Amino acid sequence: MTAVQRSDQVTLVDLLDRLLTGGVVLTGDVTISLAGVDLVHVSLRALISSVETLMEQP
């Protein structure tokens, strides 16, 4: 009887391919305040997708 090993590892190339095919939206907010006064506010909005995927959208 032979043992079958199941590999659940994903390579970096496979991961990038999956992300670019479907697209990923990253959002985030960072606020630095001192004594209740907001000093710095950074807002991040990023869409990561392949050009081919974007061109398919109507």
Distances (CA, A) of 57 to 12, 21, 22, 24: 26, 12, 11, 14
pLDDT at 17: 80
Task: Residue 47: name the closest of 20, 24, 16, 22 by CA.
Answer: 24
Structure tokens at 53: 């995927």
Quote the pTM value. Answer: 0.43
**pLDDT tens digits for range 28-55:** 999 999 998 989 999 988 887 777 766 7
Stronger pLDDT, 58 or 9, i.e. the higher one: 9
Q: What angle do CA 10, 52, 48 make, to 5 degrees?
A: 60
Check residue 35 and give its pLDDT: 92
Instruction: Select from 49, 47, 54 the least CA-distant residue to 17.
Output: 49
Banded pLDDT at 58 (limits 50, 70, 90): low
